[in-house]
Amino acid sequence: MESATLVRMANQIADFFVASGHDEAVNGIAGHIRSFWDPRMRRALYAHAEAGGEGLAQLVIDAIAALRLSDSKIPTS
């Protein structure tokens, strides 16, 4: 999936949660991406964010940080 599509989709999720306030929005965005995006989509979104995150809403960038933190706590063995 192209980065532009992922950015558009992630920003649409952020638009839905924006009225909830920052912390709740970040948790909602992270939860949605964790529940409904497959690992390849999440990895591509992480890579886009690491490359500068062009076009991503700040709430999405914050949610990615929360997602990556929670993903790093999942045991690999």
Give mean pLDDT, residues 9-38: 97
Residue 17 lies in a domain: yes
Q: How far apart are CA 1 and CA 41, in angstroms?
A: 7
Task: Note the pTM of the prediction, 2 decimals.
Answer: 0.88
Residue 13 lies in a domain: yes
Residue 46 lies in a domain: yes
Residue 77 lies in a domain: no
Q: Which domain holds residue 34?
A: 3-72
Q: What percent of the chain has pLDDT over 90?
A: 86
Report the 10 Å Cβ neighbour count for 24. Answer: 11
Residue 64 lies in a domain: yes
Residue 56 lies in a domain: yes
pLDDT digits (tens, 9 = 90+) for 24-61: 999 999 999 999 999 999 999 999 999 999 999 999 99
Residue 43 lies in a domain: yes
Q: Which of 38, 40, 64 has its CA nearest to residue 50?
A: 64
User: Which pair of tokens denotes residue 23?
Assistant: 């912390």
Largest CA distance in the chain: 39
Position 12 pLDDT exceeds 50: yes
Domains in the chain, number: 1
What integer pLDDT is reported at residue 72 of this predicted model?
66
